[in-house]
């Protein structure tokens, strides 16, 4: 059974760039639903006990689309929470150098990230990833992710599904992305991922599956941050 990871900050910690309402709905409703559906479908597919990364890859290989969509969304959102911070800081020296090599400057990188995310048709994700030829920005549709792309290691992702920004920015996805890259992007986490892509550290992994909660309380539920321990 996969559990919904706790957010690494309070619901209101990202305001005003991301409201507490957006974050709470996104985490407690959307992400929770993906995790619950993954648990049900992974069990049916005989994948209980596997890591979420393995479930995503297995579902992609076998063409189990509904399982893939839910498992990949469960993983993408857990990764996404780590890609935001309430203590914004510019990239460190090593990440800054990699960004400048790939895009020319931090500003050019930010512009391209915003532009590609804003141009993504329909729902999806915009990523900064490390590949054989250095850093690149890419978008994926719906639940698609970098786990099933050979040779790519994700450093940063922003959710461009409407549920990520509509309460705060309505249809102005570009304003959301601009605010996100300038105020919320967690370059410290991206730097750790970059180091892992070069063999230093393991990089982000979804919390491993734990035992099924056969006797989960049915009475009044505790608050969401207490209910789903990391
Ligand atoms: Fe989302």
> Mind spelling out the 3-state secondary structure of 145-181?
CHHHCCCCEEEEEEECCHHHCHHHHCCCHHHHHHHHH
Q: How far is the CA of 194 from the centre of ligand 1 (A)?
A: 23
CB 103 within 8 A of CB 29: no
The predicted pLDDT at position 51 comes to 95
Distance (Å) from CA 139 to ligand 1 centroid: 14
Q: How far is the CA of 154 from the centre of ligand 1 (A)?
A: 17
Q: Judge whether residue 230 has pLDDT over 70.
A: no
| Å from CA of 60 to ligand 1 middle | 20
**What distance in angstroms lies between residue 45's CA and the mean position of ligand 1's atoms?**
24
pLDDT at residue 225 in the model: 37
For ligand 1, the distance from its centroid to the CA atom of residue 193, given in whole angstroms, is: 21
> Near ion ligand 1, which residues have CB within 5 Å?
159, 161
Residues 6+ apart with CB under 8 A from 108: none
- Kindly report, as residue ranges, where domains of CATH 1.10.287.990 are found in the chain: 20-82
Sign, CA torsion 139/141/146/152 = negative
Fold of 20-82: Helix Hairpins (1.10.287)
Distance CA 123, CA 108 (A): 24
pLDDT in tens, 14-23: 999 999 999 9
Q: What is the pTM of this model?
A: 0.89
Half-sphere CA count of 129, side-chain side, radius 13 A = 20
Q: What local confidence, expressed as pLDDT, does residue 217 receive?
A: 38
Query: Residue 211: its pLDDT value, please?
Result: 60
What is the secondary structure of 18-61 as a DSSP string? Answer: S-HHHHHHIIIIIIHHHHHHHHHHHHHTT-TTS-HHHHHHHHHH
How far, in Å, CA of 82 to CA of 8, rounded?
Answer: 7
Other beta carbons less than 10 A from residue 151's beta carbon: 10
pLDDT in tens, 171-215: 999 999 999 999 999 999 999 999 999 999 889 999 877 665 443
Distance of CA 159 to the CA centre of its chain: 7
Distance 143 CA to ligand 1 centre (A): 9
Question: What is the whole-number distance in angstroms between the Cα of residue 146 and the centre of ligand 1?
Answer: 16
Please give the residue that has the higher pLDDT: either 163 or 229: 163
Residue 131 near residue 153, CB atoms below 8 Å: yes
Ligand 1 geometric centre to CA of 18 (Å): 13
pLDDT digits (tens, 9 = 90+) for 40-90: 999 999 998 999 999 999 999 999 999 999 999 999 999 999 999 999 999
- In the reported structure, the alpha carbon of residue 59 is separated from the centroid of ligand 1 by a whole-number distance in angstroms of 20
The CATH T-level fold of domain 93-197 is: minor pseudopilin epsh fold (3.55.40)
DSSP annotation of 122:
S
Q: Give the tens place of pLDDT for each residue, 102-138.
A: 999 999 999 999 999 999 999 999 999 999 999 999 9
Q: Indicate where the chain has its CATH 3.55.40.20 domain(s).
A: 93-197
Residues 113, 132 contacting (CB under 8 angstroms): no
Q: How many residues does the chain have?
A: 230
């Amino acid at each position: 059974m996969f559990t919904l990871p706790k957010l690494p900050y309070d619901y209101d910690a990202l305001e005003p760039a991301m409201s507490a309402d957006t974050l709470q709905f996104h985490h407690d409703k959307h992400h929770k639903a993906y995790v619950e559906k993954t648990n049900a479908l992974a069990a049916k597919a005989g994948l209980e006990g596997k890591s979420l990364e393995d479930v995503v890859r297995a579902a992609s290989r076998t063409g189990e689309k509904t399982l893939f969509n839910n498992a990949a969304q469960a993983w993408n959102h857990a990764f996404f929470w780590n890609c935001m911070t309430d203590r914004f800081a510019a990239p460190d020296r090593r990440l800054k150098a990699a960004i400048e090599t790939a895009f020319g400057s931090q500003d050019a990188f930010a512009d391209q990230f915003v532009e590609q995310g804003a141009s993504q048709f329909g729902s999806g994700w915009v990523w900064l990833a490390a590949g054989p030829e250095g850093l690149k920005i890419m978008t994926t549709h719906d639940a698609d992710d970098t786990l099933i792309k050979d040779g790519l290691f994700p450093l940063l992702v922003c959710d461009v599904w409407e549920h990520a920004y509509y309460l705060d920015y309505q249809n102005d996805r570009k304003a959301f992305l601009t605010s996100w890259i300038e105020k919320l992007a967690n370059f410290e986490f991206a730097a750790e991922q970059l180091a892992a892509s070069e063999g230093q550290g393991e990089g982000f992994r979804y919390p491993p599956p734990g035992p099924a909660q056969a006797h989960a309380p049915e009475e009044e539920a505790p608050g969401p941050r207490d209910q789903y321990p990391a």
